[in-house]
Amino acid sequence: MNVKTQGISWTRATAEAKRARAAERLREAAARAARVLSEPKARVLSESKGGRRADAGMSTAEYAVGTIAACGFAGLLFKVVTSPDVQQMLVSLVQKALALAG
């Protein structure tokens, strides 16, 4: 049976031919895995990053930006929690919880 898919003509293969092709693909995959495992780790990492050396962590600038963002968020959270409306809501919540428990 001849099947045409996206301009490519495929012929129906026998079960034996399919098994042979699967075995060939398995050998190719095993050979690729052996090559990757035998290469030094640094080379594999650098190739996986498009030829650049892989970074192991954040740089000093990233730490600074993260710290500033965390401080800004903490300041905003402090402002919200210390506002009169939120304080009143928290006090009433605690009072209701104590009334239910007691």
Residue-by-residue pLDDT tens, the chain, 102 positions: 455 555 555 565 676 777 788 888 888 888 888 887 777 665 555 555 555 555 566 688 888 999 999 999 999 999 999 999 999 999 999 999 999 987
| Bridge partners for 5 per DSSP | 8
Angle at 79 between CA 77 and CA 84, to 5 degrees: 120
Asked whether residue 93 falls in the same domain as residue 70, the answer is: yes
Asked whether residue 72 falls in the same domain as residue 46, the answer is: no
Q: Write out the residue range of the structural domain in which residue 96 sits.
A: 60-102
Asked whether residue 49 falls in the same domain as residue 77, the answer is: no
Q: Do 43 and 36 touch, CB atoms closer than 8 A?
A: no
The predicted pLDDT at position 75 comes to 95
Q: Do 93 and 100 touch, CB atoms closer than 8 A?
A: no
Asked whether residue 50 falls in the same domain as residue 28, the answer is: yes
The predicted pLDDT at position 1 comes to 47
